[in-house]
Structure 1
Amino acid sequence: MPKVSIVVLQYNQSDRTLACLESLKKLTYPSYDVIVVDNASDVQHLKAVEYWIETNKARSFQLEAVSSNLGYSGGNNLGIRNALDAGAEYILILNNDTIVEPDFIECLIQTADSGADIVGIHFGHLRWLAAELPLSAKTLNVADISRDHYLSGVALLVKRGIFEKVGFLDERYFLYFEDVEFSLRAQRAGYRLGLVDAKINHATSSSTASLGSPSLLYYHYRNALLFNKTHGPWWVRVLLPVWTIWIVLKQKIKIAIGDHVDESRAILQGARNYRKGKFGQK
């Protein structure tokens, strides 16, 4: 059985992390370990995970704590590097607000053995010149997956060779669009995406619940501009300055009339920092 390392990223929300770890403890797959990366959480959330690992005598579970928030991409990359160093043949990136079924890994591995190099449970459609790329509620046959699709970072099983060839998650994004970018980059390198029926319960995260908040809009717009510039076809790159001007003008009008002023200012800041090349954490 190939070894699977599961990387679970935590930023506070230890109650959700512990529920996730309880489900991972029940996995039936014989060769796996779990790396929890704590992304500079408040101390009580860090201690909660430490206590769980100690009291459960979970020797296949380890905790890696960092002193500053590395974001989704940076935190997961730390766990991925640790997994590769430990000889993992597959890395499973898993959100901490998920609860999996005992045979979850077997289902992912079965799809990988059928020819997929990256296996996920949710997909979305790639759209250019768009600040948000919502996930699809539809099902999709593996044969129908194309470069017009991406896999959600909620749960991603990735063969180690992909990281060795195309690199890790792009840390410029910090939050949002990194799963889209990684899916596209891997496909352009010749790797195939695969889907499995969800053997997982995914809670609505606090960040998703507050999608309209200024900070999240900042990352959505800044990262969308970066993604379109980096990976868009020629016509997207031609239209990108026009789209950028439209974003700026629209937000300035909204500020002038007093409509969602804080959100508009955050979007403008995202556009400014994109032009300045300021990426990573806000």
Structure 2
Amino acid sequence: MEKKKLYIGFITYSKEAMAYLPYFLDSLFNQNITNFETLAVDGNEDGTDRNIKLLNKYPQIKIISKGKNLGFGKSFNLMINDAQKNGAEYFMVLNPDTILESDCVNNLLTAIKNDNNLASVSPKIYKWNFVPDKSNEKTNIIDSFGIVLKTGLRFFDLGQGQIDHGQYENAKIFGPSGAAAMYRMSALEKVKFNNQYFDELMFMYKEDCDLAYRLFLAGYSSALVTTAKMYHDRTVSGKGDGNILIALNRRNKSRKAKKWSLFHQLIIIKKYWRLQNTINKISILKHVFLMFIFSLIFEQYLLIYFFKIFRTKVNKY
């Protein structure tokens, strides 16, 4: 039997995933191409096997791990390693709280195959208004058209919260969002360290930004594939990248999400500090100072991470 070149992986975390999975899996297995392998990690730790029972209804899904929440990075590293051992040339990361248009995977695969300098590609991801048994609305509001990098090692989802008027048809991106990303396996092999593709120091949040930076340093590029479209019911979505808007958006984030996001941003800064020019270093210091003051006044539980980063060993570049 001919080995399949594309592997697609996803993680299920908790009982909340149950509501999404029928829609997600239906859209995934109704793509206009079928020559891909599907891998899953079930991170549900509530002692039930509700997600596993549903996944087992799909014999084409190979379950790599179950019963423990390993985090985003480690879970996908397990799946990418499995794909690599089986001769995969491309790997697609997906969140299960998404639905895909029927030509999404094929359009991404065609784009990355046709440009050897591309390490990754991103679809157009729109907001999905999903409420179980009540709402299943696709919108033209942008969730993420990929990650962009701004001064000070700050990463943002391109267009998030905006209505798509075609304003990003020729946009350049730094990398794809972890909600949906297709990678070239040979590029991932070049930038992995300690057998890790995603940095496992980052349990969840920012690991897609870190991988995008390493691929950039290796000389690769990324692209937004405007013909590939899908929809995401993001737990927390932003409305822009200005300082005031960022502060307002924080009200919707859980404490755990804020802790991960801050600490992982500090990890990225520590990893790539030596590569930054003077202007960028000044911008980074200014931004970290503002984050510290904000935490001191409003979110004191975050202060420990400004000190923890000094004790954390990272792979510096």
> Please, what TM-score do these two structures have when normalized by structure 2?
0.73
- Map Cα deviations across residues 233-261 of structure 1 (whole Å, 9 max, x no partner): 13244665565444334432x2xxxxx4x
Q: Measure, in 2, the Cα distance between the counterparts of 1:266 and 1:132.
A: 23
Compare 234-243 and 63-72 and name the one that shifted more: 234-243
1:136 maps to 159
CA contact (8 A) 1:120 1:194 kept: yes
CA distance in 1 between counterparts of 2:122 and 2:69 reads 25
For 2:223, which of 187, 194, 198 is the aligned residue?
A: 194
Counterpart residue number, 1:270: 305
Q: Secondary structure at the match of 2:305?
A: helix
Amino acid at match of 2:34: P
What is the CA deviation profile of residues 72-126 of structure 1, one whole-angstrom value per residue up to 9, with x for unaligned ones? Answer: 1111111111111222221100111111122222101111122133111221321
- 2:27 is aligned, of 23, 26, 33, to 23
Aligned residues between the structures: 262
Distance 1:238 1:6, change over 3 A: same
Q: Which runs of 5+ in 2 are unaligned?
A: 124-144, 161-166, 239-248
1:145 is aligned to 172
Give the 3-state SS of the residue equivalent to 2:56 in structure 1: helix
Measure how far apart 1:61 and its partner are.
1.0
Cα distance between partner residues in 2 of 1:131 and 1:188: 16
Q: Which residue of 1 aligns with 2:212?
A: 183
Correspondence for 1:215:
256
- Whether 1:7 aligns to 2:9 is yes
**Shift in CA distance, 211/77, structure 1 to aligned 2, threshold 3 Å:** farther
2:185 matched to 1:160?
A: yes
* Bigger proportion of residues as strand: 2
Q: Is the 8 A contact 2:40 2:64 kept in 1?
A: yes
Question: For each residue in 1:8-33, what CA deviation from the matched residue of structure 2 results, as whole angstroms up to 9, or x when unmatched?
Answer: 01111222233211211212213111
Contact 1:219 1:270 in 2 (8 A): no
Shift in Å, 1:224: 1.4
Q: Matches of 1:105 and 1:132 in 2, distance apart?
A: 25
Equivalent in the alignment of 2:277: 234
TM-score (norm 1): 0.81
What is the 5 A alignment of 1:39-118? 39-44=43-48, 47-55=49-57, 58-115=58-115, 116-118=118-120
Q: What CA RMSD, in Å, does the superposition of the two structures yield over aligned residues?
A: 2.7
* Structure with a larger share of its residues in helix: 1
1:224 aligns with 2:294: no
Whichever residue aligns with residue 200 of structure 1, its letter is M
Percent identical residues: 23
1:111–1:195 contact (8 Å) kept in structure 2: no
2:223 partner SS: strand
Tell me if the contact between 1:71 and 1:175 (Cα under 8 Å) persists in the aligned partners. Answer: yes
- The 8 Å contact of residues 42 and 68 in structure 2, kept in 1 or not, is answered as no
Q: How far did residue 215 of structure 1 move?
A: 1.6
Cα deviation, residue 6, structure 1: 0.5
Q: Give distance in 2, aligned partners of 1:53 and 1:173.
A: 27
User: Structure 2 counterpart of 1:69, which letter?
Assistant: N
Q: Taking structure 1 as reference, are residues 203 and 251 closer, same or farther at Cα in structure 2, changes over 3 Å only?
A: closer
Contact 1:18/1:49, CA 8 A, preserved across alignment? no
* CA separation of 1:186 and 1:130: change in aligned 2, threshold 3 A: closer
CA contact (8 A) 1:7 1:92 kept: yes
Distance 2:216 2:155 in 1: 21
